């Protein structure tokens, strides 16, 4: 008589697989990253699903004035439809267009906005994975989220490598995952990839694996222009290591020069299709960006501080994010952590110097990871830690709700 029981896995394989799983989940970096990732991504998903399904009834009236009745129903909702709608706008739409159709091949002009402003590595990855799934939007969410999880693991390892205790690393990982605009880490955009490559560049450099650090920097400079700034802290880390070990300049110093390779390759490509190697920078004029002093957008906010938001600019949040980055950068200078300090200050001062408003500044701060390591040290005080978590989670929920209903200040 034939048995209906499922064949058992050979006993020799069962302990091996169980042992592998135990080792994976016993790793503190993975546990910390999984906790922060799961809590924040589920929060964003829940808020987005609820907010995207709000339906307002016709205006009613009471003794005070107008009231707005509403209903929320998930009965006929497809999660994939909601997520596709959420990520198919603003910068995500530009990137998905590049992944699908490539860059615009025409002589350079600033008459309108063009795809040349967006760096190529993330769209290339998105195109490759979307060929397997056939859905750019959902693939972008899955790709970005996976890259975020990897970035959180490496970030934890970096904080530990800097001789901080595990509690500081846990807080740093959670803070960056719960930052008020961290939903960008799960959209079809380059934030997660940039965070992973920049953190990895610092981590492997700290471990004195200079060639790997240079490769990470080169890939990062094909992801976002800000990655070029990695050459400065990487050179400082290399020089610091030379002094500590008392050795002379070696061949591995060339690894630092690998950082701009990704940018140079993109410039060569832009020259071939537009005639302008600097099209990625010059096209910023079409978005209204122009060079100036970094304090210009900060002073503009202080001139009218009670105007909390304007169109695409959540002015208050962006101002506080810029102030946070500047304060953390100064703290790193005072602690003489020069590589991290310079990276932090350059990463915030340069974008402030090319904007007339504070639009998108919180997104720039989102990927400046030393900011969150400084916050994590401050979080040793339990009251301060509670305040940060409460403010971040509350604002993340609010911003995710506005993202779901496509309020423009949540899209930038």
pTM of the model: 0.90
Indicate left, alpha or beta for 310 from its phi (over 0: left) and psi (-120 to 50: alpha): beta
Cα 410 to chain centroid, rounded: 15
Question: What total of structural domains would you count in the chain?
Answer: 1
Chain segment 293-346, per-residue pLDDT in tens: 888 889 998 999 888 888 888 999 999 999 999 999 999 999 999 999 999 999
Of residues 171 and 112, more confidence is placed in 171
User: What is the model's pLDDT at position 13?
Assistant: 53
Chain segment 218-272, per-residue pLDDT in tens: 999 999 988 888 999 999 998 888 877 767 777 788 999 999 999 999 999 999 9
pLDDT for 11 beyond 90:
no
Percentage of the chain surpassing pLDDT 90?
64
Q: Is residue 3 part of a domain?
A: no
User: What is the model's pLDDT at position 384?
Assistant: 96
User: What is the model's pLDDT at position 16?
Assistant: 60
Percentage of the chain surpassing pLDDT 70?
93
Q: Is residue 93 part of a domain?
A: yes
Q: Is residue 257 part of a domain?
A: yes
Q: Is residue 68 part of a domain?
A: no
pLDDT for 144 beyond 50:
yes
Q: What's the pLDDT band for 7 if we cut at 50, 70, 90?
A: very low
Q: What 3-state class would DSSP assign to 399?
A: helix
CB 170 within 8 A of CB 34: no
User: What is the model's pLDDT at position 261?
Assistant: 95
DSSP 354: T
Residues counted in the chain: 412
Q: Is residue 312 part of a domain?
A: yes
Q: Is residue 252 part of a domain?
A: yes
Chain segment 101-141, per-residue pLDDT in tens: 999 999 999 888 899 999 999 999 999 999 998 899 999 99
What residues make up the domain containing 225?
A: 28-55+79-410
User: What is the model's pLDDT at position 5?
Assistant: 46
Q: Is residue 306 part of a domain?
A: yes
pLDDT for 291 beyond 90:
no
Mean pLDDT of 275-303: 86
CB 313 within 8 A of CB 359: yes
Q: Is residue 4 part of a domain?
A: no
User: What is the model's pLDDT at position 246?
Assistant: 64
At 96, give phi and psi (nearest 5°): -65, -35
Non-local (6+) Cβ contacts of 274 within 8 A are 104, 105, 106, 107, 108, 116
Cα 302 to chain centroid, rounded: 27
């Amino acid at each position: 008589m034939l048995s209906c029981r499922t064949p058992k896995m050979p006993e020799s394989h069962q302990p091996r697989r169980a042992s592998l799983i135990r080792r994976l989940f016993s790793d503190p970096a993975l546990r910390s990253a999984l906790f922060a990732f799961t809590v924040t991504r589920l929060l964003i998903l829940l808020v987005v699903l609820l907010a995207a399904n709000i339906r307002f009834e016709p205006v009613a009236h009471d003794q005070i004035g107008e009231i707005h009745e509403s209903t929320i129903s998930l009965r006929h909702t497809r999660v994939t439809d909601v997520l596709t709608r959420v990520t198919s706008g603003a910068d995500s739409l530009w990137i998905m267009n590049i992944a699908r159709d490539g860059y615009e091949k025409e002589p350079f002009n600033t008459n309108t906005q063009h795809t040349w402003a967006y760096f190529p590595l993330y769209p290339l990855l998105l195109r490759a994975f979307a060929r397997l799934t056939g859905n750019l939007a959902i693939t972008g969410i899955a790709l970005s989220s996976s890259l975020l999880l990897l970035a959180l693991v490496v970030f934890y390892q970096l904080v530990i490598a800097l001789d901080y205790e595990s509690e500081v690393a846990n807080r740093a990982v959670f803070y960056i995952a719960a930052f008020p605009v961290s939903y960008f880490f799960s959209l079809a955009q380059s934030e997660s990839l940039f965070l992973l490559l920049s953190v990895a560049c610092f981590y492997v450099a700290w471990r004195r694996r200079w060639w790997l650090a240079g490769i990470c920097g080169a890939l990062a400079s094909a992801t976002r222009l800000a990655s070029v700034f990695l050459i400065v802290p990487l050179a400082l880390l290399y020089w610091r290591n030379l002094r500590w070990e008392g050795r002379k300049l070696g061949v591995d110093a060339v690894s630092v020069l690998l950082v701009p390779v990704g940018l140079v390759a993109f410039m060569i490509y832009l020259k071939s299709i537009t005639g302008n190697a600097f099209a990625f920078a010059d096209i910023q004029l079409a978005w209204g960006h122009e060079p100036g002093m970094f304090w210009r957008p900060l002073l503009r906010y202080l001139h009218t501080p009670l105007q909390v938001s304007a169109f695409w600019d959540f002015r208050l949040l962006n101002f506080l994010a810029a102030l946070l980055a500047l304060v953390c950068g100064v703290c790193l200078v005072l602690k003489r952590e020069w590589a991290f300090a310079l990276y932090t200050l350059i990463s915030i001062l340069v974008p402030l110097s090319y904007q007339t408003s504070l639009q998108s500044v919180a997104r720039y701060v989102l990927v400046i990871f030393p900011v969150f390591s400084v916050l994590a040290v401050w979080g040793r005080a339990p009251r301060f830690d509670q305040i940060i978590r409460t403010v971040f989670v509350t604002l993340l929920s609010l911003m995710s709700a506005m993202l779901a209903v496509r309020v423009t200040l949540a899209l930038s």
